[in-house]
A and B are shown apart, each in its own frame.
Chain A
Amino acid sequence: MDSEGFHALSEHFVVAGISGEGEHVMWLNRYVGRDRIPANMLSERLSVMYDTSGDLKGWIVRRLVERIYTTPPHPFIKRMQHPDRSTIYGYVLEHHHFLMQWVKSCAAIMSKTDEEDVQLYEIDNIISEFRGLSPSRPSHHELLLRMGESIGITRSVVYSTEPLQTTARCLNWWQRIASECHWLETMAAMHTLELTANPNIRKMGSDLTYFDPAILENDSYPEAVRNFLREGYVADASHSMDALDLIEKHCTPELEKDVQSVVYRTVSLLDDYLMSRLKRSESYGN
């Protein structure tokens, strides 16, 4: 995006802001400040915000950490430090739909790229998230279903429960990116999300990890809950960073700003999606 592109983007934001369109106003509040500034000044601010200084990977990590882990940590992350049954209930019912969409996005990336390292990465991803390596190493999706069963949610309930409206809206956007956009944008949209459970997130600027790791040794949590959390905790340590390495490796100057815009949008939707898990948790026991 050149200066003309930033100017067009700032004009778009100012017009949407003046009309009181909530999503744009909230984005401006969060990233630019509460006071309206003219489009030319906003354009300059945006160009600074999009400056990676040659470190796209670090830029993506910072966007995830600032949105989910700091100023202040997301309410779902706070709840996940010591999740109760209602939190797990909300997690299982919404995340099932997330993973069903996830595999489609990974497949879309594979169908659009000729890069062998990307295809191999996504094959590994689909196997670990959806297929499982072997009966003794089940997929993340299977572990999620078992976690649900451990608190009394049957698979038929999981499969027959529609996602909440907010979850569905997020999934529709991730599906649209996979269908309509460049495979690198799809990688950025999906694999930025995986950073959330990276156990090294504290080294990246967060005060919290996805959950208190002491849970993994705490017998008061069902074994299936600990197995699910442990799998994500271990897998996402290298997995999510590998994806960012691939994004950085294959990103061209022409694509970079589009990838960055996708990252801004995907962390915003992640915020909404995590809220949706909390919303679902309110209906536990009803």
Chain B
Amino acid sequence: MCDATWGEHWDEVDGQRMLFCCDICAAAFKNMISAVKKANSWSRVDSLHIAGNNGTGRKCTASGEGSDFKFYVKFYNDGSILDFHKL
């Protein structure tokens, strides 16, 4: 999520074990995946490209079930979603 190398926090996302820098980034990522799946009625997200940071918010492209979905997301400091909308 933020490319920081300070911490090592492992978490499971859709059955896949993933490394994050901290528990807040893990929570943010999982909330984002859930929001993308819900917005597209997808059962899973195949890939995700993330650009931006916590201050500006992030512009992302998700791929799943043969299509792409571009969106903006910004988080509260606890990793819950402040703003999520299609681009």
Contact = CB atoms under 8 A, between A and B. Distances in A.
Interface of A: 14, 17-26, 28-29, 34-36, 71-72, 75, 166, 271-272, 275, 278-279
Nearest to B11: A20
B76 A22 contact: no
A20 B77 contact: no
Interface residues of B, number: 24
User: Which 7 pairs, one residue from A and one from B, show the smallest C-beta to C-beta distance?
Assistant: A20-B9, A22-B24, A17-B6, A25-B22, A20-B7, A22-B22, A34-B4
A279 B21 CA distance: 25
B6 to A, nearest CB: 4
A18 B5 contact: no
Interface in B59-87: 74, 76-80, 82
B77 A29 contact: no
Determine chain B's interface SS by DSSP, over half rule. Answer: loop
Nearest to B83: A75
B76 to A, nearest CB: 5
B36 interface: no
Contacts, number: 74
Contact of A26 (B9, B56, B77): B77
B6 A275 contact: no
Contacts of B9: 19-20
Contact of A271 (B2, B4, B7, B77): B77
Given A22-B23, A34-B4, A35-B5, A166 B56 contact: no
B15 interface: no
A72 B55 contact: yes
A272 B22 CA distance: 17
Contacts of A25: 4, 6-7, 21-22, 24-25
Interface in B1-55: 2-9, 20-25, 54-55
Nearest to A21: B22
A75 B82 contact: yes
A272 B77 contact: yes
A26 B76 contact: no
A71 B54 CA distance: 10
Nearest to B56: A72
